[in-house]
Structure 1
Amino acid sequence: MGSQENEIVLYTNRRCPWAHRAHIALDELKVPFKEVTIDLDTPRTQEYLAINPRGLVPSISFNGEIYTESAVVSWLLADAFPSGKLVLPSSAAGGPQQRARIAFFVDTYFSKFQGGLMKLFGAKTDEEQEPIITEAVDKLVKEIEPLLKNAKPFFGGSSHITQAEVLTGSFVIRLVSLTKVGIYPAKLSSSIAERAPNFWKWAEAVAAHPSVTGIYDEEKIIASTKARIAKARAS
């Protein structure tokens, strides 16, 4: 699993939404790289644990050094290839402010909304799902909807995806995709569309973007999600 100097090697698994972040960044930046798939269904090999002792994906070899954790990898790529497309450099006019807004948005998305959605996987009945949906949408309306009022169609009024979409897009596409096939309750999407139209319009644009859809295998994600739900509900 070694890499040559100056070669970018991405250790990944395409089913993992965290690893998906790195794929979105690399695709949007048009950076060539070598992809090494890590099997997440079996114990990690000693060879991979020598690269990332935590055994997680993604990891990236960049200029001969290893970097781990999806947000770290995504920010590294954005800063190493500073086109200004994903995010302005911190030294550019308005750069620090844009980066702060993106960081706040991403933190809010995960701390106020995404975590609540995961509770639905363990809910066995409509009655159990109802308060989870209500709480998730309430937080979405209060915390995230106002942050997307200027989306055109992407964060901050951008016509192209930004670092905000790099860091949330793999989860957004799962929200849209899994709702359409009934894994997430229909009431979730109808409530979001009615009460948080800015968010839903943004989410649909993100979920349709080529850099987000590029590695997304809907059939495999549906199958693995169903297996995960069955396991959660059996426990």
Structure 2
Amino acid sequence: MSLTKIVPSKPIKLYCSIICPWAARTWIALTQANVEFEYIEIDLKNKPEWFLKEVNPGGKVPTLKYGDDYLIESAVTTEFVADLLPEAKLLPSDPFELAQSRLMADRFMEFVFPAFRKGLYQGDVAGLSAELFDGIEKFEPYLINAKPFFGGSDHPALAEILVAPFVSRLYLAIESGLVDSATSTKLATDPKYAYFNTWAKNLIASPGVVGTFDKTTNLEQIKERLAPK
């Protein structure tokens, strides 16, 4: 990542939430791109009246303001950042590799995300463990040449940024002991999952994720979700 900040042609504001993995997609992209932008935290449990009246009546994050214009929906706003800042190289230059990367992200959401959703959103931690490894095995064929990132890239591109918030929170839950130790041990030691595990840890350690992921706050939020009702 360049040490020199990219100055966009129009000011960028990101209305976001530190606990929302969907909103984190665009935050990661902006941070990974090393572009100047203003971050505005939105309390999702108590959304400010000014946000609902002046920015997004639907109350969704992320909402991205570019100059005087607004965009919503995390996949849209994240791809906009990648398109807007070609110098950040968040999109593979080869059209076929770009298509493959998009398929990779799609397959992650199809095969691995359900374990995340079941465990961390629906509170079924046992279900997370049962589904995770099956999902990884189905997903891995689409994770092409991850050395360290997709396609042999030295940094995460758009497709990996789209899945990074779910990878980081999944590993946070596993490594914090919220998931049974057998799952953690199997993920860390079974050679069958070494390729995925290495890629995931590289993704979590990338500048865009490190610069946006507050482990303490997100762990508290995960524990709150898992607490008996």
Q: Same fold (TM over 0.5)?
A: yes
TM-score grouping bracket, smaller chain normalisation = 0.7 to 0.9
- TM value normalised by structure 2: 0.86
Check if 1:156 corresponds to 2:151: yes
CA distance in 1 between counterparts of 2:223 and 2:77 reads 29
Q: Aligned partners of 1:189 and 1:107: how far apart in 2?
A: 25
Gapped regions of structure 1 (runs ≥ 5): none
Partner of 1:224: 221
Give the deviation of 1:68 after TM superposition: 0.5
Quote how far apart the aligned CAs of 1:39 are: 1.1
Contact 1:86 1:161 in 2 (8 A): yes
Q: Report the Cα offset of residue 49 of structure 1.
A: 4.6
Three-state SS of the structure 1 residue aligned to 2:86 is: coil
Matches within 5 A, 1:15-30: 15-30=19-34
Distance 1:188 1:54, change over 3 A: farther
Report the 3-state secondary structure (helix = DSSP H, G, I; strand = E; otherwise coil) of the residue aligned with 1:145.
Answer: helix
Following superposition of structure 1 onto structure 2, how do residues 56-75 of structure 1 map, counting pairs within 5 Å? 56-75=60-79
1:134 aligned to 2:133?
no
Instruction: Confirm whether residue 34 of structure 1 aligns to residue 38 of structure 2.
Output: yes
Deviation of residue 226 (structure 1)?
0.5
Deviations 1:39-58 (A, max 9, x none): 11114525435422321111
Range with greater deviation from structure 2 (69-78 or 206-215): 206-215
List runs of 5+ in structure 2 lacking aligned partners. Answer: 1-8
Q: Deviations over 1:25-74 (max 9, x none)?
A: 11121110111111111145254354223211110011321000111111
Task: Determine if contact 1:44/1:55 at 8 Å carries over to the other structure.
Answer: no
Give the conservation status (yes or no) of the 8 Å contact 2:116–2:166.
no
Q: 1:102-117 maps to which residues of 2 (within 5 A)?
A: 102-117=101-116
Aligned to 2:164: 169
**% same residue:** 33
Partners of 1:74 and 1:43 in 2: how far apart?
A: 22
Asked if structure 1 preserves the Cα contact closer than 8 Å seen for 2:123 and 2:225, the reply is no
Asked whether the 8 Å contact 1:21–1:74 carries over to 2, the reply is yes
The aligned amino acid for 1:219 is T
Provide the rounded CA distance (Å) in 1 between the counterparts of 2:144 and 2:51.
47
Please report the RMSD computed on the Cα atoms of aligned residues, expressed in angstroms. 2.1
Q: Counterparts of 1:43 and 1:156 in 2: how far apart (Å)? A: 40
Return the TM-score normalized by structure 1.
0.84
| Deviation sequence 1:103-138 (CA, Å, 0-9, x none) | 1111111121112332224456xxx71x54233311
* Secondary structure of the structure 1 residue equivalent to 2:44: coil
1:141-199 CA distances to partner (integer Å, 9 max, x unpaired)? 02x11223511011121121111221111111112222111123333333334232211
Does the aligned pair in 2 maintain the 1:15–1:221 contact within 8 Å?
yes
Q: Secondary structure at the match of 2:60?
A: coil
